[in-house]
Amino acid sequence: MARNAEKAMTALARWRRMKELEERGPVARRPLDTRECRNLVDAERFRREILGDISKKIAQIQNPGLGEYKLRDLNDEINRLLKVKYAWECRIKELGGTDYRKMAPRELDSSGQGVYGNKGYLYFGAAKDLPGVRELFEKAAEEEEPKEKKRGDMLKNVDANYYGYMDDDDGLLVPLERIEEDRARKRLEEEWKAKGPTMNRWDDMDDEMYKNEDISDDEF
């Protein structure tokens, strides 16, 4: 009886794994054109990969000892990745997923703020203190209207968690994933009730085949 229960659990686990692979399909590499991605799960994964790359580079750019040229290159790369992230967020929305654009209207660095330059260009970490950059912001601050200054002060109080670099640490993502996991598990169990007995018969046939092979070997 225990052996039959163990076989049933093994078959169920194998069935679940097969269905997961079937639904997921082959692990896709991130395409340059977001329109080539037609799978919401893949699009979400690509966005998380980009967020990870952004976080690593933001951590690097905090070091003023890297030198001006390295800091400028890092800052350019972060801005490029932010555009790529936005493109994937648009694609996720098109595929029926979460609209992350509404959740993070402002880009922030690990110190809690991202400083805007010309035409929406952002400066992060030690790049904010590069020659010419600080003067640029000081001049812009003098020209801003009081209303804009007030809005800027309010934005400074928003920390890096609001931007979403720590999506997995805010305590919200895991419960949502568990809900989806429970739904998928229930769906698989329903399919198992309908098709599981057939798989058990396959296992019995395998056992019988190996048993016959053992008998044949003994005869020799």
State residue 186's pLDDT score: 80
Burial pattern 117-142, b for ≥16 Cβ within 10 A else e, equals beeeebbbbbbbeeeebeeeeeeeee
**Domain coordinates in residue numbering, the chain:** 19-167
Integer CA distances (angstroms), 118 to 20, 122, 133, in order? 47, 8, 10
Identify the H or E element spanning 123. Answer: strand 122-123
State residue 31's pLDDT score: 92
CATH number of the 19-167 domain: 1.10.287.660
Strand partners, 122: 116
State residue 189's pLDDT score: 78
State residue 13's pLDDT score: 76
The tens-digit pLDDT sequence of the chain (220 residues) is 566 666 666 777 777 766 665 665 555 789 999 999 999 999 999 999 999 999 999 999 999 999 999 999 999 999 999 999 999 999 999 999 989 888 765 555 444 455 565 567 888 889 988 888 877 777 766 666 555 555 556 555 554 555 555 555 556 666 666 777 777 778 777 877 777 666 555 556 555 655 555 555 555 4
Q: What predicted TM-score, i.e. pTM, was given to this entire model? A: 0.52
State residue 112's pLDDT score: 41
26 class by beta-carbon count within 10 Å (0-12 exposed, 13-18 middle, 19+ buried): exposed
The closest of 118, 124, 117 to 163, measured between CA atoms, is 124
Burial pattern 9-22, b for ≥16 Cβ within 10 A else e, equals eebbeebbeeeeee
